[in-house]
Amino acid sequence: MIKKVTLSITGMTCAACAARIEKVVGKMEGVDRISVNLATEKASVEYDPVITDLAAISDKIEKAGYGAKTFEKNNLVDEDKLKKEKESRTLWRKFTISTIFAIPLLYIAMGPMIWWLPFPIPVSLEPMQYPLNYALVQILLTIPIVIAGYQFYTVGFKAILNRSPNMDSLIAMGTTAALLYSGYSVYQISKGDFMAVDSLYFETAGVIITLILLGKSLEALSKGRTSEAIKKLMGLAPKTAILIRDGIEVEVAIDEVEIGNIILVKPGQKIPVDGVVVEGSTSIDESMLTGESIPIAKTAGDSVYAASINKNGLIQFKATKVGGETALAQIIKLVEEAQGSKAPIAKMADIVSGYFVPIVFVIALLASLAWFVSGESLVFSLTIFIAILVIACPCALGLATPTAIMVGTGKGAEYGILIKSGEALETSHKIDTVVLDKTGTITEGKPKVTDIITMEGINSSRLLQIAASGEKGSEHPLADAIVKAAEADQLEMLKTEGFEAIPGHGIRVEIDGMSVLLGNRKLMEDQGVELNSMEHHSDRLAGEGKTPMYIAMNRQMAGIIAVADVVKGSSLKAIEKMKAMGLEVAMITGDNRRTAEAIAKQVGIGLVLAEVLPQDKSSEVKRLQTEGKKVAMVGDGINDAPALAQADVGIAIGSGTDVAMESAEIVLMRSDLMDVPAAIQLSKSTIRNIKQNLFWAFAYNVIGIPIAAGLLHLFGGPLLNPIFAAAAMSLSSVSVLTNALRLKKFKPFQ
């Protein structure tokens, strides 16, 4: 049996690191699949515990030069937040220290070349008069900067020894080359060669490290913002609950709540776990689950969910799901898995990253040698070598996809749109056909009384009262709709006698001394009841997709009550929106064609697949796929499970039941069809963002490396200073993250 675990990875600095871990672990016997996410710093591993174990996998990762530990979900909010805050503080502190020393270092190094400086270089540091002083002060200023950026060297050289060079390796090699060459120049100065003062590169190494620390600090800040949505979700659950034990209120930690406990929730408090109301009534704000801002009325027997807010009543409920089983915990798990997953578009970046760093080393070496052989000085060749190594960092490449997926899936969760994987997110933007289940998706899924038509002299309330009184003993869904309509009008139920159900036809019952018949046309014909003008009304109602039920009193026609599964208020608008997006919309149902077409006509659907059995729905989806269509199936996730699984993207609409979450790639927490075009719109926005990120990441390296190699200089242009290369490299990562964060402004169709 395959086991799935999530590991926290430390020591990763770029896409090459993630690719290296995937490569070494992926080759292990027993490992089925591994996906490493640079942005979340987590690895999702699927392995066979019979063949290998977690210790062996962690050991393999550590031998590759990285840290690995099991990802604990307990106290996740606090741990993750503290870790990110600590990382950010450490980086800012290192950057501050390096800046304090880099500014005077750059001032001293460049001062002699800039005549208009407001504060002249002290005479004791004049390079032509006191070259050794000039060099030694630069060494003293460079040492603290190198110490602040020591991790670039420890991680970078370790990665080279492990034959998996990464971003740190490029920086370590480039700055070390500058430092060693500068150190040799200091030795030459001490021997009396004062001209060697022109070959000092301490400021290059110092400023490069400082700029990269700035980039890393900004990166950490941006990374923290990409996971804000998941942090908000995780921070919703209350920390305590009030239990009722032997009639006494006892406040306990949330972890101590067990299934079956009776919990008291006062007005204004959050629901601590999932459960069913046993006493009291209230309205509850479930917007954190569904995105729906209107509070929902709750009475005994209704379900309540963890982290929703009790608005105005005092209730007691029985805990049914606790800990990781609550709806909120399941949502968090889905969003985490989606943020940790990879879209197919990311594979291209992974492949490139795996080969990128070694290729850059070769390019840097060949370019610097070529310039040296062509007659340029060693200093010139060294500048080329350092500039290429520094500018070619693949950070932006590694962050392009995961950051956009993190923000996109997090934004979806805010609106009750749960996208379960990067693959689902990517596939959704290709959808051209949307197949909608009728019952519970386009319609409410609960029959309601829509029309009451009476014969002359009979009051509609009286007819509904008699019909409801008769149907009170029936278990038929249509009967339930009539009873609920009467209860909504606060009609009193009349006493009945001699109830008789006539299968397939209706019922016969005695009410107030009258013989009442309630049922279909066949029942009336069999009992010899004249339909009169009601037959015309019956045909019209049936044509509208409604089910007409005749009522006769003492074998005299009294009227018709029509019952129908009514169309949701948002269905027409949602379908119009999908069609405006260029999507073909189809409806699939087990209902008869006449009813199905009546509903389809109301909402503007042309393609109707009617009288389809649940087991055949997946075949209909497959048939559309064979026609070359990319199909999204939208259903309630229970009887539509096979079709949801067959579709290119399965979208479960409803309250996020376990079955829905298992069978669909996207779960819409609200029963609102408008979330379907919103989910597709979010997918399109996210994929567009990823493509922009990848374009700029690739374009940056395609343009940057030739310039660093001296292409412009070859045609009489300037040579790229390694300091500017470092600034550009840092800004490339920050620009990719900033672009991904633009998705936070996403708003679905209103």
Cβ(304)–Cβ(271) below 8 Å = yes
Of residues 210 and 356, more confidence is placed in: 210
Q: What share of the chain is helix, strand, coil (3-state, %, to 5)?
A: 55, 20, 25
Q: How far is CA 528 from CA 467, 513, 548, 555, in A?
A: 19, 20, 18, 7
User: Which DSSP string corresponds to 380-399?
Assistant: HHHHHHHHHHHHT--HHHHH
Give per-residue pLDDT as tens, 7-45: 888 888 776 788 888 888 988 999 998 888 776 778 889
From 437, 591, 648, 675, the catalytic residue: 437
CB 167 within 8 A of CB 395: yes
Q: Average pLDDT, whole number, for the chain?
A: 82
Give the model confidence (pLDDT) of 244-292 as tens digits.
Answer: 988 889 999 888 899 999 999 998 899 999 999 999 888 888 766 655 5
Q: How many CB atoms lie within 10 A of CB 634?
A: 30
Give 656's pLDDT tier (boundaries 50, 70, 90): very low
Q: Domain 238-325 carries which CATH code?
A: 2.70.150.10
For residue range 431-487, list pLDDT tens digits in order.
999 999 887 788 887 788 989 999 988 899 999 999 999 888 776 667 888 998 998
pLDDT (tens digit per residue) in 126-169 = 877 888 998 999 999 999 999 999 988 888 888 778 777 777 77
The Cβ of residue 506 has, within 10 Å, a number of other Cβ atoms equal to 29
* 3-class DSSP state of 507: strand
Q: Please tell me the least confidently modeled range out of 44-48, 300-304, 397-401, 525-529.
A: 397-401
State residue 317's pLDDT score: 94
Q: Which helix (H) or strand (E) holds 173?
A: helix 167-190
CATH topology of domain 3-71: Alpha-Beta Plaits (3.30.70)
Confidence of residue 566 (pLDDT cuts 50, 70, 90): confident
Rounded Cα–Cα distance for residues 201 and 429 (Å): 50
pLDDT exceeds 60 at position 85:
yes
Spans of all domains in the chain: 3-71, 238-325, 419-435+570-671, 443-567
Model pTM score = 0.66
pLDDT tier, 366 (very low <50, low <70, confident <90, very high otherwise): very high
pLDDT beyond 50 at 75: no
Encoding tokens for residue 237?
A: 């659950």
User: Any residues with CB less than 8 A from the CB of 369 and at least 6 apart, and which?
Assistant: 381
* pLDDT band, residue 76 (cuts 50/70/90): very low
CB 561 within 8 A of CB 549: yes
393-409 residues labelled b (16+ CB within 10 A) or e (exposed): bbbbbbbbbbbbbbbbb
Rounded mean pLDDT, 308-334 = 83
The helix/strand/coil state of 262 is: strand
d(CA 411, CA 414): 5
CATH topology of domain 443-567: Calcium-transporting ATPase, cytoplasmic domain N (3.40.1110)
Of 652 and 339, the structure prediction assigns the larger pLDDT to 652
- Going by C-alpha positions, the residue among 20, 13, 4 that lies closest to residue 63 is 20
Q: How many CB atoms lie within 10 A of CB 536?
A: 10
Give the CATH fold of the 419-435+570-671 domain: Rossmann fold (3.40.50)
557 pairs with which residues across the strands? 552
Domains 238-325 and 443-567 share a fold: no
Q: What whole-number distance in Å separates Cα of residue 500 and Cα of residue 492?
A: 21
> Is the pLDDT at 104 greater than 50, yes or no?
yes
> What is the structure's pLDDT at 3?
87
pLDDT at 116 over 80: no
Nearest residue to 5 (alpha-carbon basis) of 60, 44, 58, 61: 44
Tell me if residue 510 falls in helix, strand or coil. Answer: strand
Active-site residue flag, 640: no
Q: For the ranges 18-22, 492-496, 551-555, which has the lowest average pLDDT?
A: 18-22
CA nearest neighbour of 725 among 374, 385, 400, 398 = 385
pLDDT in tens, 673-711: 899 999 999 999 998 998 888 888 778 777 888 988 888
- Are the C-beta atoms of 231 and 77 separated by less than 8 Å? yes
DSSP letters for 295-360 = -EEE-TT-EE-TT-EE-S--EEEEEEE-GGGSHHHHHHHHHHHHHHS--HHHHHHHHHHHHHHHHH
Q: Which of 736, 739, 712, 741 is nearest to 724 (CA)?
A: 712
Whether the pLDDT of residue 392 is over 80: the answer is: no
